[in-house]
A and B are shown apart, each in its own frame.
Chain A
Amino acid sequence: MKGFIIKEFFHIFRDRRSLIILFGMPIVQILLFGFAITNEIRNVNIAVLDKARDEASERIIEKMLASGYFVMNGYLETEDEIEPIFRKGKIKAVVVFGPDLDRNLTAGGIAPVQIIADATDPNTANTIAAYAASIVRDYQADINPNVTLPLETIPEVRMLYNPELKGVFMFIPGTMTIILMLVSAMMTSISIAREKEMGTMEVLLVSPLKPVQVVAGKVLPYILLSSINATVILLLGYFVFRMPMQGSLLALMGTTLLFIITTLSLGIFISTVAQTQQMAMMMSLIGLMLPTIMLSGFVFPIDSMPWPLRVLSNIIPAKWFILILKGLMLKGVSITYLWKEVLILIMMTLALIGISVKKYAIRLA
């Protein structure tokens, strides 16, 4: 049995290319997420159609550029120029100042400012419009120093768990989940499928090793690999991005191990269904990876999805693990608060193993 496990290790370590990707990928991904990718709005290219060209409009433009959100990219002369400039793709918003802004303001008339946003990206457009509008409101407050609006309800806002609104906190649990899924489920299923394809599986089954030992031997190296990966990711998150670890480290390790086992049982399950390596790969990739990325709450918030998808997301193990990670690491809850998620993972694991065992028994009989 020991010899078998050692052989498995050799198989894996000799495949240097796969190993590099295996360990390199999460690191690259996390670095990308941490440093490059963000949902925030910055450096938005805008154009201005200024019919007023007076102090009001100039001041507002100044404020906009000073805010850091916007970058001035052109002055337009007429309305006709608006559509073509959007079509070129660089400009995301056009601010139109009506004529005689200043005069209207002092005379008590309407001073119109229009913010036209390219809404092909609705979220960005929404945010741009909101920022621009708030800058204009700011200016309005500036020019009305003596007027205090009565009856103010002042909301004080506390941002919990992530006061700096760092995007990376959301992505680290997700990335860890994806990588674990990749290593455990995909590689396990491929490894078992490869033995089946090469015919060496039968040799193993005929040997004195029991089927359970064969499977365990196949699976053990990947547990180790996944654990190393998980640790690297967590360390990166902690040291490079100062991701907090509020909860119990022991609980974290325990639940991570649990999830690794869940994904491994997924891998075993896939291997009972797939006939060839190619099938195992495709099934893992398309049937596992993509739904996980899409529906686990990793990138897209589950609450915003239509209800059939919300229901579907419940059968994705990654969803529950991400909840556990968020709870343990960012919210600092004790493990007892997460009993539901843990239980679900355990049940999924048992179900998968159960089905796999039954399928194996049927085949051998």
Chain B
Amino acid sequence: MKTIFHLLKKEFRQIFRNRAMLPILFVMPAVQLLVLSFAATFEVKNISLHIVDNDQSSLSRDLTQKFLVSDHFKLTGISFSSDEALDDMQRHNTDVILHIPEHFERDLVRNQKAKLMLSINAIDGAAAAVENAYATTIIHDFNENIRIRMADQISLTGQPKVLSVTQSFWFNPELDYKTFMVPGILVLLVTMIAIFLAGMNIVREKEIGTLEQINVTPIKKHQFIIGKLLPFWILALVELGVGLIMCRVIFGIGVAGSIWVVFLFAAVYLLVVLGIGLFISNFTHTQQQAMFLSWFFMVIFILMSGLFTPIDSMPHWAQVITEFNPVRYFVEVMRMVMLKGAQLPDILPQLSKLLVYALVMNGLAVAGYRKVA
């Protein structure tokens, strides 16, 4: 064990002496946590809206007013010509066009029915759906208002049966996107430190040539590997701690459940990720290759982790693939523990899966590392 101690001493010295690495290890993740948490949102806000009002009646102006007042929309243009509006959209100046046709008020009052046209930039399909929902809700409200105002002028046939629908949102009543994203982003950052730096670290020794020297010494295989991975395991856990503090202080997101559960899970999770980094380093000769390969897996892991898009919505085959994605489990657990206060028994399925994964992965990686060629 003394050997491992010496190895660790050397690694930490090298890490901290590396001027370029220090900001990357400490400053970068912090900056990213901040920027990404504020940037990463699928909420749809500040929707640019162009209204074409061909009616110019008091009702049409009422409708326009409702849109102006709404938090969701930002009026970027108002005109008489739908060609002009369309042109605006072509120029990326607007994403939604509301067209109020001529005779809108007349049709509504006389025929009790009037049409409106909504044109939505649907390149971002999901956003378009949301924009549609917002716009139709405003129109719906406008509709209700008129009915109430003109209640005496209209005739109702029969007594409608009404179901009252209430919506409640638990664990995140303000629907703050940050609450959702920040734990996941923490996972991301901690993972990146582990997989990139650990893997590249070993390859760097290979590249420089000191690895050969190490192979000639009596250092045993497992001692070397522990010596290489342990520093980053420790560093990643420290970063997680710092990140959690930042979450609390800056975003007001605390850990509803037990913080020890978080660290326990993180410790096992990191073993898996580091194992993957090690595994990659067995197959690569240069740092560039190691980085590319790590990057490749990282991107797939992140995309398929449920961090940005729900796993439930993926086709079945994709969901099966996510079973092998360690990031998926960590994201799930972080959210469960931090936001819903889940306890150890609740996360046992994920924990046990990761334990198995860690054993298999590290076993493979260690077996693949050859001191003797």
Contacts and interface: CB of A to CB of B under 8 A. Distances in A.
Given A115-B165, A151-B108, A146 B200 contact: no
Q: How large is the interface on B (under 10, 10 to 19, 20 to 34, 35 or more residues)?
A: 35 or more
B15 interface: no
A290 B32 contact: yes
Given A36-B318, A116-B168, A120-B339, A294 B116 contact: no
Nearest to B133: A130
B157 A122 contact: no
B128 A159 contact: yes
Contacts, number: 346
Q: How large is the interface on A (under 10, 10 to 19, 20 to 34, 35 or more residues)?
A: 35 or more
A87 B176 CA distance: 19
Interface in B131-171: 132-133, 135-136, 139, 142-143, 146-147, 150, 154-171
Nearest to A109: B162
B336 interface: yes
A126 B154 CA distance: 34
B314 interface: yes
B309 interface: yes
B56 interface: no
Contacts of A236: none
Contacts of A309: 35, 38-39
A107 B244 CA distance: 54
B70 interface: no
Contact of B47 (A129, A166, A303): A303
A296 to B, nearest CB: 10
A33 B124 CA distance: 13
Specify which of A37, A114, A133, A147 lies most central, judged by the most chain B CB atoms within 10 Å of its CB: A37
Interface string A275-299: 1111101100110001100110001
A148 B157 contact: yes
Given A121-B180, A155-B116, A150 B289 contact: no
B118 A165 contact: no
Contacts of A149: 147, 160
Given A123-B177, A162-B122, A277-B287, A301 B168 contact: no
Nearest to B309: A37
A303 B72 CA distance: 11
Contacts of A129: 167, 169
Contacts of A39: 42, 125-126, 309, 313
Contact of A42 (B112, B128, B170, B313): B313
A326 B167 contact: no
B310 interface: yes
Contact of A123 (B42, B116, B286, B300): B42
B166 to A, nearest CB: 5
Contact of B310 (A41, A105, A299): A41
B123 interface: yes
Contacts of A209: none
Contacts of A116: 168-170
A331 B108 contact: no
Given A114-B166, A125-B175, A37 B304 contact: yes
Contact of B288 (A126, A157, A190): A190
A78 interface: no
A276 B24 CA distance: 15
Interface stretch (A17-25, A342-350, A354-362): A17-25
Contact of A303 (B48, B125, B173): B48
A79 interface: no
A74 interface: no
A156 interface: yes
A120 B171 contact: yes
A294 B45 contact: no
Interface in B172-203: 172-173, 175-177, 179-180, 196, 200
A238 interface: no
11 contacts: A43-B313, A89-B332, A119-B171, A120-B340, A121-B310, A122-B175, A123-B177, A130-B133, A153-B114, A154-B113, A303-B45
Given A36-B321, A159-B120, A294-B39, 11 more contacts: A37-B304, A87-B341, A114-B166, A123-B177, A125-B169, A157-B136, A159-B128, A281-B291, A300-B40, A331-B89, A337-B91
